[in-house]
Amino acid sequence: MFTEIKVPQLDLTIKQPLGLFIDNEFVKPSGQDEVDTINPSTNEKITTIPLASAEDVDKAVKAARKAYTHVWAKTTPDERGKLLLKLGDLIERDIKILAALESIDAGKPYHTNAMMDLQEIIQLTRYFAGSVDKFNVGKVIPVKPEKFVYTIEQPYGVVAQIVPWNYPLAMASWKIQGALAAGNTIVIKPAENTSLSLLYLAKLFVEAGFPKGVLNVVPGAGGVVGNSLAKHEGIDKLSFTGSTSVGAKMLEQSGNSNLKDVTLELGGKSPAVVFADANLDNAIQWIASGIFFNTGQNCTANSRIYVEEGIYDTFMEKFREHTRKNWKFGEKYDMFDKECTVGPVISEKQYKSIKETLEGKYANKSEDPSQWKLEELVECRAPKGFFIPPTIITNVSQNSSLMQNEIFGPVACVCKFKNYEEVIELANDTHYGLASAVFTENIRKAHRFARDILAGTVWINVSNDVEISAPFGGFKMSGIGRELGYYGVETYLQTKSVHVNTEY
């Protein structure tokens, strides 16, 4: 099942696989459900994606179980590493194709966003290829002269993975490559409106030589495929990235089935704190990137900006100037324009949600949206597509819906603070705890902030600069568990203790 997708800006024609990927083949689903995938920069149809049913999920799980039991569990770390290295080479070979699919399917600027994602994916794939014989190691525990204990780090078996639409291929790669390095087989659900790049990647798995059933891709609706995976008795481990509300349902489904282990990477409302002694130009550069990159559709986006009152006016003036100069839609709102740094939001639904949020539709009863001061920093005259200009909002109270809830777009609230004690309280005043950033030249203050902030990631004098070798995950309602680095393999392993008696 294939279709042709033309990308005239790159003089490129892509042979795009469609359907479900089970046992190394693209197959039709058992039902008739399908969805049109839309280019968010043009609001035009790209193609139609067939959607999986619960019956299809069961087929994929059985294929993954068979592959794990009879093939994958018997491979050596060296064999898994070589396959992952081959996959990395193929991704690098087809980097333009994969980046183009991300651009048209997810609305990512090709040169300044999609290509960056793909470069990280290549690096990550090779990192996990090198981890297969280094992280999956046990320990020997001396107990007494006649006895010792050793531990085995063992794969779960069949892993279900559910990834979001904001980083279709990157989030999938975080999960897939780590799980494979650990020795698991996979059934993965992409977001139904951004399935193209992951389906194309599946084709590269076949070319790389991965055995049948090791990776299975089942595009489908969350209420059907997502729920089926979460409650399936044949799934040993579930890894989900998405909204906090859906993540809670994943935990519930696990509890109502076989108590499968669950890793969750959920929402965020990350603060960026700028002290008066900060290098202001550096802070502005990183904070702007932290909220406007990927059109603000980042769970770690620094959407709450706190600026010490003595430098507030200077910060605002410089922030406006920097944003207008560096964050652009590009000529004709074309994602392949080299000057384009801001794309559309993912869909009409998301566009309307952000607009309604800024109009005060979801405001708390205690706040007056007419008091908000919204400022669009970049002119937007897009004739079509779902474009929202980089926007800042001031005169917003700490308990405002804008400060407490994810907007998931290129929108940030900017507030003043007086001193360290006040701002650490403000920064921690959220249900979320995914990431944070602090800007100061005072080393004591910086590390004090890192100690006191309730967040899984702390950036000092930088923001939203993820490293594949460092763990990533949240505190509070931002999730459970960690991904990337050593933890990106460990999360897909379970520990077994073996007790050895040496006495007769």
For residue range 479-495, list pLDDT tens digits in order. Answer: 999 999 999 999 999 99
Percent of the chain with pLDDT over 70: 100
Rounded to an integer, what distance in angstroms lies between the CA atom of residue 226 and that of residue 213?
Answer: 19
Is residue 265 annotated as part of the catalytic site, yes or no?
A: yes
Average pLDDT over residues 187-214: 98
For the chain, what is the mean pLDDT? 97
- Pairing type for strands 271-274 and 391-394 reads unpaired
Which segments of the chain belong to CATH 3.40.309.10?
A: 271-467
User: If pLDDT is split at 50, 70 and 90, which confidence band does 124 have?
Assistant: very high
pLDDT tens, position by position, 337-396 = 999 999 999 999 999 999 999 999 999 999 999 999 999 999 999 999 999 999 999 999
User: If pLDDT is split at 50, 70 and 90, which confidence band does 215 have?
Assistant: very high
The residues facing 149 across adjacent strands are 141, 499
Q: Is 371 exposed, middle or buried (0-12, 13-18, 19+ CB in 10 A)?
A: exposed
> At a CB cut-off of 8 Å and minimum separation 6, what does 94 contact?
200, 204
Query: What pLDDT, on a 0 to 100 scale, did the predictor assign at position 137?
Result: 87
Rounded to an integer, what distance in angstroms lies between the CA atom of residue 199 and that of residue 87?
Answer: 14
Kindly name the residue from 102, 120, 192, 265 that is annotated as catalytic. 265
> At a CB cut-off of 8 Å and minimum separation 6, what does 339 contact?
328, 330, 331
Query: What pLDDT, on a 0 to 100 scale, did the predictor assign at position 1?
Result: 84
pLDDT tens, position by position, 235-277 = 999 999 999 999 999 999 999 999 999 999 999 999 999 999 9
Query: What pLDDT, on a 0 to 100 scale, did the predictor assign at position 464?
Result: 97
User: If pLDDT is split at 50, 70 and 90, which confidence band does 136 have?
Assistant: confident
Query: Considering the domain 271-467 in this protein, what is its CATH number?
Result: 3.40.309.10
Domain 56-266+480-497 has CATH 3.40.50.12280: no
C-beta of residue 105 within 8 angstroms of C-beta of residue 196: yes
- Residue 434 CA from chain centroid, whole number: 12
Helical ranges in 94-195 per DSSP H: 95-106, 115-129, 168-182
Query: What pLDDT, on a 0 to 100 scale, did the predictor assign at position 331?
Result: 85
Percent of the chain with pLDDT over 90: 98
Write out the H or E segment, with its range, that includes residue 426.
helix 420-427
Query: What pLDDT, on a 0 to 100 scale, did the predictor assign at position 69?
Result: 98
C-beta of residue 218 within 8 angstroms of C-beta of residue 235: no
Which segments of the chain belong to CATH 3.40.605.10?
A: 56-266+480-497
Query: What pLDDT, on a 0 to 100 scale, did the predictor assign at position 12?
Result: 97
User: If pLDDT is split at 50, 70 and 90, which confidence band does 20 have?
Assistant: very high
Query: What pLDDT, on a 0 to 100 scale, did the predictor assign at position 186?
Result: 98
Residue 220, pLDDT > 90, answer yes
